[in-house]
Homo-oligomer: A and B are copies of this chain.
């Protein structure tokens, strides 16, 4: 079998999830090429060496520039915080590597556009990791919509709720700093809602946004006083889609009891769909069929459901981690086949444009075009 030599930059939460995907994909799926986990790269030599051993990479490295330049590397998987995405991606593109990049593509629209331009110029394969598109239940939703089973789409209602910073004593971590994280709930989780909106409903043309920071000052994680929170704690937006649908998008870290509540509901002329990541193996489906109709819980664990054939018998649920396994599977297929895969950097730019419009609207206090 052909081999694809992969290097991963960054090894924290996302790095762990991506590593798992690279290790597992070939164990369950028939991949066109074998993903070889060549090298993981991080700034801390000891940390990255331990990560390599634990996560299954052959080597570790501390300079991403060197890694990107290695001729034996075929693909770069970018798992760093958002502020480092652009330089790595541009270098990787110039070096002719296939690129898989964690979301959001970049911290700003400008950066995202540069990344896309670089990838297009070099003609390298590029993919953005919005992993939730590849939960089988979400992929099933997409299939049903594409088959017209829901009819003409009227409504999208997306909320991504978490609760990890409700406590005012929770420290001012890097995700609460604009310089590093770009934005708060908007870019971190609202962007998932937005990506699913674009994936399932279509392009967004205009938005009315609201950003709010409930707690403006928090203890510094390293101790010694407090620091300013300059990102949003919560982000809401009304949106209009090109196809006439309307909707709302929300991300917040201030919803006690909602741990990872990435929920959407879509209403069409013939039915409705609803999904909640906390029950990620289920899709709620309503198809209008007279008075005995009702929302049904489709357990998306049947061999006929997207990606499921490779796994277990019906009713044996999958975990969060395999949204990444399915992502790298499609990345491998795309690289091998020379075909376009979505979401890619174009989607990253489109998402960033919408996020940017939400920020502009929150500031201008009026509807803004995307």
Contact = CB atoms under 8 A, between A and B. Distances in A.
B295 A238 contact: no
B305 A298 contact: no
A296 B294 contact: yes
A267 interface: yes
Contacts of A317: 278-280, 317, 319-320
Contact of A234 (B55, B56, B155, B250): B155
B286 A291 contact: no
Of the four ranges (under 10, 10 to 19, 20 to 34, 35 or more), the interface on chain A belongs to: 35 or more
Given A255-B272, A301-B259, A278 B236 contact: no
Interface stretch (A84-92, A176-184, A196-204, A308-316): A308-316
A260 B316 contact: yes
A33 to B, nearest CB: 15
Interface stretch (A66-74, A99-107, A208-216): A208-216
B315 A321 contact: no
Given A292-B285, A315-B259, A317-B320, A20 B27 contact: yes
Contacts of A212: 246
A108 interface: no
15 contacts: A164-B313, A210-B240, A236-B248, A238-B238, A256-B267, A256-B270, A257-B295, A259-B301, A294-B298, A295-B296, A316-B319, A317-B319, A319-B322, A365-B366, A366-B367
